[in-house]
Structure 1
């Protein structure tokens, strides 16, 4: 019980450890270029900020690096208009894609639960039909992928891992059934973490209540 209520970071490290071990095992099999993992991928773009018509009363979610703080992208702060998207290199990324930061801060990653567009330096990656989006997220979050990306970073005005170079990274692509087995395992751990967080919150509230009542 002590571990349950005092060390809720353990499941996170456990997930990463499991994923890294699985990737190490999968790397012994056949590998495929990253370009074969998606139907469409590309960076976004920022509409000219001085043009009010590109932003005023905008309804299209416009994703920046600060929005990529959780596994699932369920909300965002800024929006642009249809005209703003048309007048920039931004494009509408369908839901259940991977959003990945490849410029400046490299490696921030989320799965978007609704269509979005992004600024430059953030990739939208629409998985191929034989790629589970949850597996793609785990792959791109793994130590293996991070190390491979670090090898191809270009130094310039800002550090960038260009898609044309990421495309050549050889990655494991197990069957869809194997992908689902992997993601089911990590999901069950994440659910356990969520349960533990709720329990920790409840126990802390109960502790505060008991402390207050002791001195009444």
Structure 2
């Protein structure tokens, strides 16, 4: 069914009025109560404290109580990353969000779904540090079906909300199941990779008979010939997310590889982030690639004795422990990394452990199989029907 036919049936010939978020007939802007709380003054509590990107903390007290939509004030100049949040009950909103809700003729949940398709870029005057001012926010267009008949209008809005909430609820259920499976996966992984000192032989990553450990490099950005039309995949530390990595977003040239400390790594190499937000996180190369200097690479020199995938799983299992000790590290360097000990059970036991963890990994992380694929499909369905249900004719289209 085409979008026009679908909407015509839903609206049943009823007109749609286009207004703006500043129209006080339909929208209440509850910005006055927003206020920041200095971290040193926050009192721990149960009230969610919202900023531009979801919950920042839990505090005592609240600024709002009810059903609201939070629109990021400090945003991102891209539709995909712009933060729109739906909140109910008591909460604290800081001064980095606009707080709005529907009045008598506007369903707040309808407003939330609609705002998720709005292109905010024209309303962000400063493209370097995007800031949605209230003066610009109130100019954002807003469709109101059948405004002259509030009862009919709210029925139409409620039907649109019902359809879209069906998809979001299913996605939420699948996401909760994925979270539970990941917790189960982490439990079994830690059990499988738990060895006592006397049970198996241990090797340090600095044992050059068994491991090759190195860091990467970055070709000079002032040399276009090192980057332009490059065909060598090149990874930054953001690629380390404790899971296999299958592709690269950046590429360097063969000359850039030769003229820098970057190294072309073999497939099935383990990576670990040395600095930044992903410090201690790992990745497992599923293709040949180079990395920058903020990533260390670990490669087994004798795969028959110690499997590369086993090394990856073991180092990944250390993440929580290392993260808890992060205060002791300004960064991870190769000297410290080479002190890490790796257990070396029999090749048969390694293969068994890797086989079990690979199956869990497919269920929890695979984008072609398992729950992540199902979640992605449901999200695409939601986006398809959301775009369909909000494809109201614009004023110029109506006039034509």
For Structure 1 versus Structure 2, the TM-score category normalised by the shorter chain is 0.7 to 0.9
The reply on whether 1:7 has 2:215 as its aligned counterpart is no
Partner of 1:119: 292
SS at match of 1:125: strand
1:84-117 residue CA offsets vs partner (Å, 9 max, x unmatched): 1122111111111112111223122211121111
What is the TM-score when the length of structure 1 is the normalising length? 0.79
Cα distance, 1:165 vs structure 2: 1.7
SS at match of 1:185: helix
Q: Which of residues 128, 132, 137 in structure 1 aligns to 2:301?
A: 128
Q: Is the 8 A contact 1:8 1:196 kept in 2?
A: yes
Cα separation, 2, equivalents of 1:146 and 1:36:
25
Partner of 2:273: 101
Partner of 1:212: none
Cα distance, 1:54 vs structure 2: 0.8
Specify whether residues 153 and 70 from structure 1 end up closer, same or farther in structure 2 by C-alpha distance, changes over 3 A only.
Answer: closer
Q: Which of residues 214, 228, 247 in structure 2 aligns to 1:42?
A: 214
Q: Is the 8 A contact 1:121 1:160 kept in 2?
A: no
Q: Is the 8 A contact 1:60 1:116 kept in 2?
A: yes
Q: Is the 8 A contact 1:153 1:161 kept in 2?
A: no
Q: Which has the higher strand share?
A: 2
The reply on whether 1:60 has 2:222 as its aligned counterpart is no
Question: Which consecutive residues of structure 2, in runs of 5 or more, have no partner in the other structure?
Answer: 1-169, 386-400
Cα separation, 1, equivalents of 2:220 and 2:378:
50
Q: Is the 8 A contact 1:154 1:161 kept in 2?
A: no
SS at match of 2:193: helix
1:56-111 residue CA offsets vs partner (Å, 9 max, x unmatched): 11111111123334622111111111111122111111111112111223122211
1:1-216 equivalences under 5 Å are 5=174, 6-29=176-199, 30-36=201-207, 38-69=210-241, 71-104=243-276, 105-129=278-302, 130-143=305-318, 147=321, 159-193=330-364, 194-198=369-373
SS at match of 1:7: helix
Specify whether residues 19 and 136 from structure 1 end up closer, same or farther in structure 2 by C-alpha distance, changes over 3 A only.
Answer: same
Specify whether residues 203 and 165 from structure 1 end up closer, same or farther in structure 2 by C-alpha distance, changes over 3 A only.
Answer: closer
Q: In angstroms, what is the RMSD of aligned CA positions?
A: 3.2
Cα separation, 1, equivalents of 2:252 and 2:373:
36
What is the TM-score when the length of structure 2 is the normalising length? 0.45
Q: Please say which structure displays the higher CA radius of gyration.
A: 2
Cα separation, 2, equivalents of 1:98 and 1:40:
11
Cα separation, 2, equivalents of 1:138 and 1:51:
38
Q: Is the 8 A contact 2:205 2:211 kept in 1?
A: no
* Structure with bigger RCO (C-alpha 8 Å, 6+ apart): 1
Q: Which has the higher helix share?
A: 1
1:145-171 residue CA offsets vs partner (Å, 9 max, x unmatched): 65368769875xxx3211222212223
